Homo-oligomer: A and B are copies of this chain.
C-alpha cells in the first residue's frame, strides 16, 4: 500500500541520516546567540543548510530581515514546519559547566533552546523532503524561519503577511524536560500603551487650572481593578505605569502613560475585554478632563489545539519512545541537579506535566494525552498560526528535569548529547506526523474540520494593527 512508503520507520531512518549535520548546525547557532530581530548569523546558517538540501529560499518575509521561508516540492498537500532561533539577553554560559560561567559577561545566550528548535524543525523538513523525493511522492514541504519569538511576535507578522494561508497543516516543537504532545492551549494577548495628556500647573499656587494626566492613569487603573470582579476568571489584565509625568510633586503632571496587557484563552474574548479596558480609559479621561490615545504594540492569538493532529502525533511518539539517554547523559544531569537545581525548580518543572516525575533525572517515557484540555497561562506566536491552519506541537526531553527556562542552567545543556537526542526525537515526531498528513488526506480534512469548529467560522484577523510594524517592536525592545 502506498502509505507504507512514508512509514514511521522510514521517516525515522531519514531523520537519523541527516541528524549529525543538523546537530552540528544547532551547535553553531548555540555558539552565536543573537537577540530577537537580530538573528542575521543564525539565519545565514539555516539558509545555507536548506539551500544545500535543495530548498528554494524566500528572504525578508513579513517585513523582517531575519524571517525566511524554505520550500521544496510542488503540488499535493502543503505542510509547514516552524523553527525559531532567537536568544535571550545576558545568559552567556559555558557549555557543560554546572556553575554560572559566562563565556562573555553580559552577552546573550540560548536560554530557551531555540538553537535546537530551529535546527530540529529544519531537520524534520529535510528528512520529509528526502522521503518524498526518494519515493516520488507529490507534496510541498516548507520550513519557516521565524524570528523574534521571545520578544516581537515574528510569526504573528508572518501570519499577517499571509505566509501560512495555503498550508494544510503546521508542525512545531519546543525543547523541554519531558516527552509529550502539547495539548494545552495558551492565552491570546493584546498589549497597548494608554497615553494621557492634561495641562501642567503649579500644584500649590494654581492647582485648579491643572488637569493631571497622572490622575487619569491612576483612575484608569482603579477602573480596571473594579472591572476584575466582573470579568471571566480565566482572563488576565495587567499593567505597568511607564511614564508618571515627572518626579516633581509641585507640578501637575501633563503627561502620563501606562502599558496594558490583556489576555484570555480565546482571542475574541480578549478583544472584547480590551474594548472594555479602552472604555475605562475613556472614562478616566472624561473624569480628569484629559485626552487619551491608545496604541496597540503587540498581540498574539491563543493557540487552538487540534485533537486530530495531537492523536496522530501521539501515536508516533508512543511508538518512537523516549530518547535513548546513556550513562554519561544521566551523570551530567545528576551533577547539574545537585549543583544548581533546587527542589522548588523540580516541582515547578514537572507540575504542568506530571508530579510523579519529580524523582526522575531525565524523562524516560512519553506522557499520554490528558483527558481534559487545559489552558497554559502563557502566550506564544504559534497561536496565530494555529488560527489559520491545523497546528500541532510536541515537547521532547532535551534537558534535565528541573531545569528552569531562561537560565544559564539551560544554556549549559544546549549543545550536549542529551539535547541532540531530544531534538532528533522531535524531528521524527514532526516529520512522521507531517508524512501521515501527506499520505492520508482524510486526516487533514478532519483536522481542518476541527479547526473550523474551534474558530466558529471566524476568519483569521491579525490582532496587531497594520500600523504597527516589526521595526516598531524591534526599536522598542532595543
Contact = CB atoms under 8 A, between A and B. Distances in A.
A208 B231 contact: yes
A191 B187 CA distance: 34
Contact of A202 (B210, B233, B248, B377): B377
A401 interface: no
A42 to B, nearest CB: 26
Given A204-B377, A289-B276, A226 B230 contact: no
Contacts of A232: 208
Contacts of A253: 240
Given A203-B236, A203-B238, A238-B229, A218 B214 contact: no
A247 B259 contact: yes
A226 B259 contact: no
Interface stretch (A115-123, A278-286, A411-419): A278-286
Contacts of A187: 204
Nearest to A191: B249
A227 interface: yes
**Residue from the set A237, A244, A283 with the largest chain B CB neighbour count within 10 Å:** A283
B229 A249 contact: no
**For this complex, into which size category does the number of interface residues on chain A fall?**
35 or more
A415 B230 CA distance: 39
A239 B228 contact: no
A214 B222 CA distance: 12
A463 to B, nearest CB: 16
B244 A230 contact: no
Nearest to A377: B205
A130 to B, nearest CB: 41
Nearest to A233: B233
B226 A207 contact: no
A365 interface: no
Contacts of A285: 283
Contacts of A250: 238, 261
A238 B377 contact: no
B236 A204 contact: yes
Contacts of A276: 289
A238 B286 contact: no
B226 A215 contact: yes
Interface string A242-274: 101111111011000001110100000000000
A225 B219 CA distance: 11
Contacts of A228: 225, 228-229
A372 interface: yes
A63 interface: no
A263 B204 contact: yes
A331 interface: no
Nearest to A476: B247
A48 B442 CA distance: 69
B225 A226 contact: yes
A160 B240 CA distance: 41
Interface string A177-213: 0000000000100010000000000111101111110
A445 interface: no
A221 interface: yes
Interface in A262-310: 263, 276, 279-280, 282-289
Closest 10 CB pairs of A and B: A283-B286, A283-B283, A283-B287, A205-B377, A223-B287, A249-B261, A228-B228, A241-B244, A203-B238, A238-B249
17 contacts: A205-B377, A207-B230, A207-B231, A207-B236, A209-B230, A210-B230, A215-B230, A218-B218, A225-B229, A233-B233, A238-B250, A240-B249, A240-B253, A241-B241, A249-B259, A250-B261, A283-B286
Given A208-B230, A239-B249, A242-B247, 5 more contacts: A210-B230, A219-B222, A223-B288, A229-B238, A282-B286
Interface of A: 187, 191, 202-205, 207-212, 214-215, 218-219, 221-223, 225-234, 236-242, 244-250, 252-253, 259-261, 263, 276, 279-280, 282-289, 371-372, 377-378
